[in-house]
Homo-oligomer: A and B are copies of this chain.
Amino acid sequence: MTTSSRKLDHIRICLDNPVESEGVVARSFDDLVLVHKALPEIDEADIDTSCRFLGRKLSAPLMISAMTGGHPSVKEINVNLALAASELGIAMGVGSQRAALEEESLKDTFSAVRDAAPDIPIIGNIGAVQLKRSGPGILDQLAEMIDADAIAVHLNFLQESIQPEGDRDASGVVKVLGEAANGSVPIIVKETGAGISRETAASLADVGVKMIDVSGQGGLSWAGVETYRAAEIGDCDLEEMGRLFWSWGIPTPVSIVECRSIGLDVISSGGIRSGLDVAKSLSLGASLAGTALPMLKPATKDAKAVVRAMSPYLRALRICMFLTGCRRAGELKGVPLVVLGRTREWLGARGYDLNEFSAYRELTK
């Protein structure tokens, strides 16, 4: 099975089935509450959600996370996402460019993104294992293909574990990422739905990685997607594995806190389902938040549908900023945030003092 046709399967499955994580911490973002500021003391009109990201300006700290490319029939999806991202002034990631490396003719399914969105940050994408195989030199090629502002190197060993054709040699990846981090193309190390722990973040920081896209547990589950695929091909054993590991991973909010505690720049993703989740992510210390799955179906229609699906994120983020008195998105990390329930238990178990977010912040002003 080619990379390209597997990608089509994934998209079809994501469009037709419930593929989100559940697990012991069902909706970790629902355990977080931004503390209402009855007197915001700002004019909502003065709120400026814009920020800089990878040297470009964004209208808001938002991105459409990596999804696709690499098959003629998905080019349109990518173009719709790009047109929408461009119109909204937010960043966009493309899906793994591996297929285009394998097959020249597929390049334009990626490059069309830059054509449709000349001014926004566009982030290329490649799997860590592929990078290891091809060597860091490949990064320039990937960047050039879409005039990328950075390349996300994705980690998806959970998915590889459930795939029949999974590549499970994870050895030496940290070293390669270190080489890549010191190359000319900015890189982002990105999970794909299972999150990044403090320990992993520390080892990445050690080799020079600066930015992480946590893509934590709580949104799309690759184990979930592969469960359907295994069922389709009649591989009961893999199907059972898929079910077992469906919700494996570190909830996105937990992962944000863990990576931030190492001092890394963090993109929040994995289950970002509204501007409220975006605001909570920023309050936990993320610089940006991305969402993937909810944009997929709209993108199969047209750019307008994507804009319609994404606009509420911007609006809700703005409302959150207003109701917590933040003129700039960056101020969200200074507003009190209450952490409850199992997310509280989890972070407590990992040694964090949750009052840091909810009680001490006002003291340090």
* A residues whose Cβ falls under 8 Å from a Cβ of B: 24-25, 30-31, 33-46, 128, 155, 157-158, 161-162, 168-174, 177, 191, 194-200, 203-204, 217, 237, 240-241, 244-245, 248-250, 274-276, 311-312, 315-316, 319, 322-323, 325, 336, 338-342, 344-346, 349-351, 354-355, 357-360, 362
A203 CA / B323 CA spacing, docked (Å): 16
Question: Judging by beta carbons under 8 Å apart, are B349 and A41 in contact?
Answer: no
Residues of B contacting A319 in the complex (Cβ-Cβ under 8 angstroms):
161-162, 241, 245
Could you say which residues of chain B place their CB within 8 Å of the CB of A355? 349-351
Measured CB to CB, the nearest residue on chain B to A338 is B349
A350-B345 CB under 8 A given contacts A38-B197, A169-B45: no
Taking a contact as CB atoms closer than 8 A, the residue among B200, B315, B322 that contacts A170 in the complex is B322
Name the B residues within 8 Å of A362 (CB-CB): 198-199
Q: Are A168 and B38 in contact (CB under 8 A)?
A: no
21 contacts between A and B (CB under 8 A): A24-B340, A34-B248, A35-B197, A37-B200, A41-B174, A43-B168, A43-B171, A194-B323, A198-B362, A199-B336, A199-B362, A244-B274, A338-B345, A338-B346, A338-B349, A339-B349, A349-B355, A349-B357, A349-B358, A349-B359, A350-B355
Instruction: Give the contacting residue for A350; candidates B177, B244, B359; CB below 8 A.
Output: B359
Most chain B CB within 10 A, of A200, A203, A338, is at: A338
Whether the pair B44, A191 counts as a contact (CB closer than 8 A) is no
Q: Are A170 and B311 in contact (CB under 8 A)?
A: no
Q: Oligomeric state, in number of copies?
A: 4
Which residues does chain B contribute within 8 Å of A340, judged by CB atoms? 24-25, 342, 345-346, 349
Query: Closest approach, in angstroms, between the C-beta of A224 and any C-beta of chain B?
Result: 15
In the complex the two chains form, what is the Cα distance from A323 to B244 in whole Å? 13
Interface residue from B200, B217, B346 paired with A39 (Cβ < 8 Å): B200
In the assembled complex, the Cα of A97 lies from the Cα of B46 at a distance in Å of 28
Q: How far is the CB of A55 from chain B (nearest CB, A)?
A: 27
CB–CB B341/A350 < 8 A: no
* A170 to B354 CA separation, bound complex (whole angstroms): 30
Q: A33-B346, A244-B274 are in contact. List 17 more A-B contacts (CB 8 A).
A: A35-B197, A36-B217, A37-B197, A37-B199, A38-B195, A39-B128, A39-B174, A39-B203, A157-B322, A158-B323, A170-B325, A199-B336, A199-B362, A237-B311, A237-B312, A344-B349, A349-B358
Residues from chain B with Cβ under 8 Å of A177 in the complex: 39
Interface centre among A30, A34, A171, A312 (most CB of B within 10 A): A171
From B203, B275, B316, B322, contact of A168 by CB (8 A): B322
A350 neighbours in B (Cβ, 8 Å): 336, 338, 355, 358-359
Contacts of A30 in B (CB 8 A): 24
Nearest-neighbour CB distance to chain B for A225, whole angstroms, equals 16
In the complex, chain B residues whose CB is within 8 Å of the CB of A24: 30-31, 33, 340-341
Cα distance, A358 to B351, chains bound together (Å): 8
B312 touches A38 (CB 8 A): no
**Which chain B residue lies CB-closest to A30?**
B24
Q: How far is A134 from B101 in the complex, measured between Cα atoms in Å?
A: 66
